[in-house]
Chain A
């Protein structure tokens, strides 16, 4: 056998890990084009109030999306967020109205309640070893029951403006930007940083890629899973504060369908539902896209029902593009 000389190295272009992934750039591009078109077609898109509205609408989904992204990266899912959202909202709404809780203890309380609910999911997933979708379908019903018990048949009206600083009105803005959005942005930035630079954050990707191999590599898988579900509960608590701040009332149907909205934003943002891949930045962009479409449908005077149709189409396109890319990469 002839020994071949070492071949000249192929100079194949490789995708190195960049701060911004391809899908995120595409998404940002789509949003930019949409904004441009909407700016040209409507006279009201680039008004302060409309932009403030878009940013405020997206913040709730973006805040919960931070936790959901982490959960989905570990190849899990949490469909109970809508219900835990309602539990936090009614508890804190009543505490503020009936017990006169101040803003700071109220926010802390919301975080604690949310985290406790998330912990329930986390324990069942990590130590009960039940499939996350089954666990969270169960707790979704259970949490909704808890919320109804606390509502006791009445929505919570007239919540004093303890959370006005997070609301959609004038007191909830800093230099014209909604504080809720700033909060979401800071949170997302922290999560993005943590999932990129903190060892524990990187471990989430390993767990989603191959939980068994991750365990063999010395990663404490159960503890990390417990962590991400608890974190999701925590951010749900925060999102509830934002929403109470926005409306001043807590309705009994609070949070129904929220889980799907959040999952949609995460998926549009390029996170793989199979785990191991995805970023919080993508999720924020996904939430922004959904909020933009919602606003566009209103501004263009189209039927608001079209919004959901567009979300569905965006999901199919986002995931479809990703599937095609993966397939091409495998055939490389």
Chain B
């Protein structure tokens, strides 16, 4: 698809970046030609988002040069990047739900006529953009809140295209879309490509790259591993490039025997538009991982097991007893505990003490008569956890917001353990946590399994999954795909989750 005489629109040369003592990018070269879709892939933490932040001016580079259309671009300025024609669409659409599509596109820089918003001109201009993206031009006057998510995403793209956009950076645009919606997105991208726009496409779904991308650049540990035309690669080979030649990491504890009693048994679990026919078992002493990309539905399965958004169909049994889980309270009663993903949003009570944060997880156990808190016991329990899982906090009374991310995560973990669950669900347990704390959290989790708990880890971090789990279940399109053992190769698992046509097992509907 690449044109005969490719013109380089955006060229990054020798980009370096360090955060504190950690090198995130080392001498990265990357370029986008006019009329090509250049996919950027890599595992979490490989440096993709840092690279696009530098390209879009949101972050200054630590070294290297950025040229746009042959002209050197001063880094670290979003307006300079925008003026040079680099438009970025982030995952979360920044739109105003109550304003119309046209208004959203032009907010803050309205087209005016005699001081008034020139609605007709805006509508005409937006209708043109919408048509280009394959949307119904009539939605220019629809409130954004009334549009489905996919169309909102396209509206964000339309917004990015109002300027002199020559390069369009799309940060995981497909993550939250359904297959059908992705098709619309691709149609729009193809149109833009035909118009000579250079597109940087970031995605975890490797299968779709063959459909939409022209070239692929793979990042690993902050360095470019390969830049190749897409026809030279398949899902499996991309996955191998992403994870490197490394095999299952040694040093992980010996696989725990799979002969304990089944503590968690899930059969035929399903929820409309989230996941379906989910069946698996976790034995006492076993760590099972649900591995899936963002949008795979893995996190919904955990949410259903914990009663956050209950399943419509299927059954859950804990220790052989069937249980009905309609609320987290039901889950706790059944002996299921959970560490939610996204510590800031769903984990910590910022501004409250470590003791408060831990004890709030199991108030009934801490209360003496009726509903009075046994404060001595509360302190003991919190102090016990601080020792047991090595939370680095000055004391029970110190504010949780003064701790490091890793220690905050340990506090959340301690809370979920306060009720002594037999089954523990961990969603992205080490997201945004430094390496040391990650190790420690993994050790605690393994210790829990050795003590006879059944543990289900939901993670999109492949290395974590392989280090921790005895078995890995790949979730794709809301269904459980193939299962992998401890000795599986990373590339196989990644290929299965990211859409290897052979290994995928028809997971997508």
Q: A-side interface residues toward B, CB under 8 Å?
A: 1, 3-7, 9, 14-17, 197-199, 202-203, 205-206, 208-210, 213-214, 216-219, 276-277, 329, 332
* B142: min CB distance to chain A, Å: 5
Q: How far is the CB of A105 from chain B (nearest CB, A)?
A: 30
Q: How many residues of B are in contact with the other chain, CB < 8 A?
A: 38
Contact of B107 among A6, A16, A217, A277 (CB under 8 A): A217
Chain A contacts of B98 at CB under 8 A? 205, 208-209, 276-277
Stretch in contact with the other chain, from B68-76, B112-120, B261-269, B290-298: B112-120
Chain B residues 166 to 189 lying within 8 A of chain A, measured CB to CB, are 179-180, 183-184, 187
22 contacts between A and B (CB under 8 A): A1-B208, A1-B508, A3-B211, A4-B179, A6-B134, A6-B183, A6-B184, A14-B138, A17-B142, A198-B115, A198-B116, A202-B103, A202-B110, A202-B117, A203-B107, A206-B96, A210-B96, A217-B94, A217-B108, A218-B109, A219-B107, A276-B97
Taking the nearest CB of chain B, how far is it from the CB of A157, in angstroms?
Answer: 46
Q: With A6-B187, A7-B183, A15-B143 known to touch, is A218 a contact of B100 (CB < 8 Å)?
A: no
Given contacts A1-B499, A6-B187, contact A17 B94 (CB under 8 A): no
SS class of chain B's interface: helix, strand, loop or mixed?
mixed
Q: By the criterion CB–CB under 8 Å, are A15 and B499 in contact? A: no
Inter-chain contact B142/A206, CB cutoff 8 Å: no
Contacts A7-B180, A277-B98 hold; do A16 and B142 have CB atoms under 8 A apart? yes
| Interface: B501 (CB within 8 A) | yes
Q: How far is the CB of B190 from chain A (nearest CB, A)?
A: 11
| Chain B neighbourhood of A15, CB < 8 A | 142-143, 146
Q: Which residue of A lies closest to B208 (CB)?
A: A1
In contact, A329 and B146 (Cβ under 8 angstroms)? yes
Q: Nearest CB to that of A10 among chain B residues?
A: B148
Residue ID in chain A nearest B99 by CB atoms: A205
Which residues does chain A contribute within 8 Å of B109, judged by CB atoms?
Answer: 218
A249 to B23, CA, bound (A): 76
Other A-B pairs beyond A1-B208, A14-B146, 15, CB < 8 Å: A4-B179, A4-B180, A6-B134, A17-B142, A197-B119, A198-B116, A202-B117, A206-B108, A209-B96, A209-B98, A209-B99, A210-B96, A276-B96, A276-B98, A277-B98
Report if B136 contacts A (CB, 8 A): yes
Bound CA span A66–B207, Å: 55
In angstroms, how far is the closest chain B Cβ from the Cβ of A21? Answer: 10
Q: Which residue of A14, A199, A206 contacts B117 across the interface (Cβ within 8 Å)? A: A199
B145 interface residue, CB < 8 Å from A? Answer: yes
B27 within 8 A of A: no
- Measured in the bound complex, the distance between the Cα atoms of B373 and A31 in whole Å is 55
Task: Tell me how far the C-beta of A271 lies from the nearest C-beta in chain B, rounded to whole angstroms.
Answer: 11
Which chain A positions have C-beta within 8 A of B103?
A: 202
Give the complex CA separation of A277 and B144 in angstroms: 13
The 8 A CB mask of B1-19 against A (1 = contact, 0 = none) is 0000000000000000000
Chain B nearest Cβ from A323, distance in angstroms: 14
Give 6 nearest A-B pairs by CB, closest first: A218-B108, A217-B108, A209-B96, A199-B110, A276-B98, A16-B141
Decide: B107 and A9 in contact? CB cutoff 8 A.
no
Q: Which residues of A contact B96 (CB under 8 A)?
A: 205-206, 209-210, 213-214, 276
